[in-house]
Amino acid sequence: MIRCGVIGATGYAGSILVTLLVGHPEVEPVYLASHSYVGKRYSDIYPSMTGHCDLVLQEENLEEASTLCDVLFLALPHTLASQKVTQEILDRTVIIDLGADYRLKDVDVYESWYQCKHASKELMSQAVYGLSELHREAIRNTNLIANPGCYTTCSILTLAPLVGEGLIDPSSIIIDSASGVTGAGRSEKTANLFCEINESYKAYGVTNHRHTVEIEQELSILNRSPLFVQFTPHLVPMNRGILSTCYADLNEGVTEKEVAEAYEKWFGGEEFIRLMGSNLPETRYVHSTNSVAIGWKVDPRTKRVVALGAIDNLVKGAGGQAVQNMNIRFGLEESTGLVKWIANPL
């Protein structure tokens, strides 16, 4: 059994992660930490876990946890992981960080966009960006995995075949993404109160959302040269889910058949990607699963492609992808402990 721990176990991402780990046939959770609930049983915070996970929550201590666990998941706000992870810890255990501290390869870009100093720059070269479908081989051989953001997972995978096959003008990419409220975390914020969110739909982080550079980093690798995207996130009055609508100009002569062939070439064999073609995805199709649903249409009038991706932001966008990365790293069947697909007709 793989002994695992979760630091930040009571947030939304952490709670989904704990739920998945408790149900995983090859895993034994042995260490759960939450600064806000030290000394309480996990099932005191989430009564639905009574009898399934009654571990006592501890004050976070990575040094101690790394001696107990084969893998540690960090579900913490940015800056905290970089202050706590050391080479000695990485020598003892695998770290899967659900935060932003190790996602960007350029430390200067991180410090500019996150307006803070990175506390462990010397470890950045070991970090692998944990987008499972694109970096599977590198994930197998590292002890520091940077779990991608939710918006980025959805947007990058939706656009990857188009960029990677050179079917679109990379300077024309526009991404509109809409997320459920859990994407903002579990802490109390006035802007996330029911009366502030219900019956409303709003854009935020316009031109400066931090996931922008994460998307650009990964798509630039596929493009083999730097590119920039126009990314605008939106908040939707629902609990969970992300829908990314991506627009780009097709290169001269590219057909709808070539677009479909590109998606099939890249993702036709992927367990957690469902290619829907012109049957466009909705967030309800992937609710509570680790799947990405992708659909697309070519507009012959404007000579653009419109590609749409949908994920559950708490599963494929956080806890589920973290488990998928763990499975890859420890040589397990990638889908172990994860739900691939739910047909939701309503």
Q: What is the pLDDT of residue 188?
A: 65
Question: How far is the C-alpha of 136 from the C-alpha of 328, rounded, in Å?
Answer: 7
- Measured CA to CA, the distance from residue 26 to residue 62 in angstroms comes to 22
**How many CA atoms are closer than 13 Å to the CA of 320, on its beta-carbon side?**
22
What is the block-wise mean pLDDT of the chain (346 residues), using blocks of 10 residues? 96 94 96 94 94 94 96 92 95 97 95 93 96 98 97 98 98 97 72 78 94 98 98 94 98 97 98 96 95 97 98 96 98 93 60
Query: Token match 């889910």: residue?
Result: 241
Radius of gyration of the chain (CA): 20
CA distance 243 to 166: 24
Neighbouring residues of 84: CB distance < 8 A, sequence distance ≥ 6: 60, 62, 74
* Largest distance between two CA atoms of the chain: 64
Catalytic choice (150, 154, 195, 246): 150
35 and 102 in contact (C-beta within 8 Å)? Answer: no
Q: How far apart are CA 31 and CA 52, in angstroms?
A: 14
Q: Is 33 helix (H, G, I), strand (E, B) or coil?
A: strand
Other CB atoms within 10 A of residue 91 CB = 9
Q: Is 170 buried (19+), middle (13-18) or exposed (0-12) by CB count in 10 A?
A: buried
Alpha-carbon gap, residue 95 to 120, rounded angstroms: 14
What domains lie within the chain, and their CATH numbers?
A: 2-126 (3.40.50.720), 151-311 (3.30.360.10)
- In the sheet that holds 242-249, the strands lie side by side as 202-203, 230-235, 174-179, 242-249, 304-311, 292-299, 273-277
Provide the 8-state DSSP code for 300: T
CA distance 52 to 41: 11
Q: Can you give the pTM of this predicted structure? A: 0.95
Return the structure tokens found at 312: 């559950």
Please confirm, yes or no, whether 150 is among the known catalytic residues: yes
Buried b (16+ CB within 10 A) or exposed e, 332-342: bebeebbbeee
Query: Tokens 């994460």 correspond to what residue?
Result: 214
Q: Give me the pLDDT at residue 181, please.
A: 86
Q: Phi, psi at residue 61, to the nearest 5°?
A: -150, 95
Q: Which pLDDT score is estimated for 321?
A: 97
List phi, psi (to 5°) of 88: -60, -40
